[in-house]
């Protein structure tokens, strides 16, 4: 949630792009998670947690709904993601 606090206007502007979708928060959340997966694929890996050991865990989306989601963890804990990866 730090991203939302530090980049409130950018987040709001991006979210407005989804205003015509049936569920704007769900659509944005899905796209954002896909972007994270693409952008940080060398830093993250899927876990094998969850009831089926497939990395799927229950969490809440930005709309506050309980959903099944992929869980991720850093490949090498202690190695920070460089700021250049965030641009």
- pLDDT tens column, 34-58: 888 888 878 888 888 777 878 888 8
Closest Cα to residue 4, out of 27, 22, 28? Answer: 28
Reply yes or no on whether the pLDDT at 77 is more than 80.
Answer: no
Total domains, the chain: 1
**Poorest-confidence range of 4-18, 25-39, 41-55?**
41-55
Reply yes or no on whether the pLDDT at 75 is more than 70.
Answer: yes
What residues make up the domain containing 75? 2-86
Q: Provide the sign of the torsion angle of the four alpha carbons 66, 67, 73, 79, taken in this order.
A: negative
- What pLDDT was estimated at residue 22? 92
pLDDT band for 70, please (50, 70, 90 cuts): confident
């Amino acid at each position: 949630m730090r991203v939302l606090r530090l980049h409130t206007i950018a987040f709001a502007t991006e979210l407005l792009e989804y205003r015509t979708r049936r569920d704007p928060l769900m659509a944005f959340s899905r796209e954002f998670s896909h972007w994270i997966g693409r952008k940080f694929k060398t830093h993250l890996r899927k876990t094998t947690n969850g009831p089926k050991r497939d990395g799927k865990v229950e969490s809440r989306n930005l709309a506050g709904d309980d959903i099944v989601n992929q869980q991720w963890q850093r490949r090498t804990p202690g190695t920070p993601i460089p700021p250049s990866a965030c641009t």
